[in-house]
Amino acid sequence: MNGRLKITPAGFIVLGVFFPFFKNIVVSTSKSQFISVGCLIILSVLFFFRREFREFKLPNLGLMYLFVFLGVLVGSLYFESDSARTLSDSFRYAVFSYFIFLGYNFNKASDQDFFHLICGIAVLQVVFSLLVFFPPAHGLIDFFKGRLSTDSLSFHFYRFSGSLGYPTEFGCFLLLPVFYFISNNLFVRNLRYFSLFVFLCLGIILSVSRGALLALGIFVVGIFLSRLLRVLVSPKLNWRVALLYCLAGLFTLLTVVYSRSLSGTESLSFFGYLNSVVNGLDSSILHRFRELELSLLILMGELSVPTSIERVAPFGLEQLESFWGASLIRFGWLGVLIIVLINTSFVTKILQLSRRQRNSFSASVLVWFAMMYFFVAPFSEVIFRSKGSVIFGLILGVSLSCLREISFRKYFSEDPSRIPAPSQLA
């Protein structure tokens, strides 16, 4: 024993997920995020850099986020952001790249070990969320919640969010294992996987996260269409999968029909909140569409990008809820470039995966990022909000490390003579 404290990226993900958000102490969401992420950065330095130095590498996606960081930093200076706004807008990308670097270089987990870890964390998040139904536990839960038990709208507190701060972050986090269950048919492999799948889907529903439900619906439709095309080409058919997809389609149809019957619902309730996706009953939906409207007006030249003090609350909006809104309203066409660059980078990486890599959990993580940026980012911020800069940065770094390992194993399995001697590995 050399007395040094060692921890892997996988272990640090657990620490990041269950690290308190402290909203009930500092009140401000921005300050809560700054404190939580700041503490985790300090801890990461203590944990990861008490190691022997070796050659490190930053993957291309990490370099891409650094490039975006420099672009946003220059844009913030050009549009005269104050120091706090500049820090918020730009350094989140640098922090994200930093945790990609840590996850990529220090990872020790295999792809399957990583899947089991994320799935286990997701299950614990749902279990932790159940504490909202036990009033004596509300004081504890408030350390981790962005919507406190003292919120004037108690419905928001009861929405499942685990220890991740907000329901959207929670629901989208659960999608990480759920996407893998669906894409590899694990949910019909055995009763254990099926039970986990149902349990996690129940957690997503109880989060009432419209972003997570939207991403899940689009993913299921995409998988369904791709497999339908495959069935039309091939006579082979997995009837269990086909039956479950038919039931899912029937459930979706019944949900749509039932939601229409709730078109007059005005109370803030579970079904009323979900129904607001199509009926515009909730002010948060209108807020997000207002962001998109302002973004379009800026790109059309009818409005100017806010400068100086106006960047704090642009066009009277106290806060920008979506990634697209924050990028386009604050940076105009530079924001378009950022969105296109990030989306293109993930799509390119996915298309470059080998056949062996595509069936891995880490590949589904890349698909998750693409889904978040394409379909959730126009309406919500997931990856950088709360503790996301730490958690999802590490998850991406570990995933890229696992994909590298899979490619490495394939390289040597094709030609055993390439396996290096023990002296070369030392």
Q: Could you read off the pLDDT of 298-334 as tens digits, one per residue? A: 999 999 999 988 888 899 888 888 999 999 999 999 9
DSSP-assigned states of every residue in 97-109: HHHHHHHHHH---
CA gap 294, 233 in Å, rounded: 45
Is the predicted pLDDT of residue 352 greater than 90, yes or no?
yes
pLDDT-derived band at 49, boundaries 50, 70, 90: confident
pTM summary value: 0.86
Nearest to 35 by CA among 386, 392, 380, 383: 386
Residue 394 covered by a domain: yes
CA gap 331, 79 in Å, rounded: 8
Structure-derived torsion over alpha carbons of residues 37, 203, 277, 347, reported in degrees to the nearest 10: 60
- Residue 319, SS3? coil
CA gap 63, 74 in Å, rounded: 17
Residue 113 covered by a domain: yes
pLDDT of residue 264: 44
Quick one: CA dihedral 320, 325, 331, 337, positive or negative? Answer: positive
CA gap 78, 195 in Å, rounded: 53
If you average pLDDT over residues 368-392, what whole number do you get? 93
pLDDT of residue 337: 97
Largest CA distance in the chain: 73
Residue 365 covered by a domain: yes
Number of domains into which the chain is organized: 1
If you average pLDDT over residues 42-52, what whole number do you get? 83
pLDDT-derived band at 151, boundaries 50, 70, 90: confident
pLDDT digits (tens, 9 = 90+) for 355-374: 899 999 999 999 999 999 99
Residue 240 covered by a domain: no
Residue 201 covered by a domain: no
Question: What are the backbone angles phi and psi of residue 274, rounded to the nearest 5°?
Answer: -65, -40
Look up the domain containing 151 and give its range.
Answer: 9-156+290-410
pLDDT digits (tens, 9 = 90+) for 127-147: 999 999 999 999 999 999 988
DSSP-assigned states of every residue in 357-406: HHTSHHHHHHHHHHHIIIIITTT---SSSTTHHHHHHHHHHHHHHHHHHH
CA gap 270, 125 in Å, rounded: 20
User: How far apart, in Å, do the first and last CA atoms of the chain sit?
Assistant: 20
CA distances in angstroms from 189 to 109, 195, 354, 376, listed in the order given: 24, 11, 24, 30
**At a CB cut-off of 8 Å and minimum separation 6, what does 261 contact?**
none
Nearest to 213 by CA among 265, 286, 159, 261: 159
Residue 404 covered by a domain: yes
**What are 186-193's contacts with CB under 8 Å, separation 24+?**
187/244, 188/238, 188/240, 188/241, 188/244
If you average pLDDT over residues 216-227, what whole number do you get? 85
If you average pLDDT over residues 37-65, what whole number do you get? 87
Question: What are the backbone angles phi and psi of residue 145, rounded to the nearest 5°?
Answer: -95, 145
Strand ranges (DSSP E) for 8-116? none
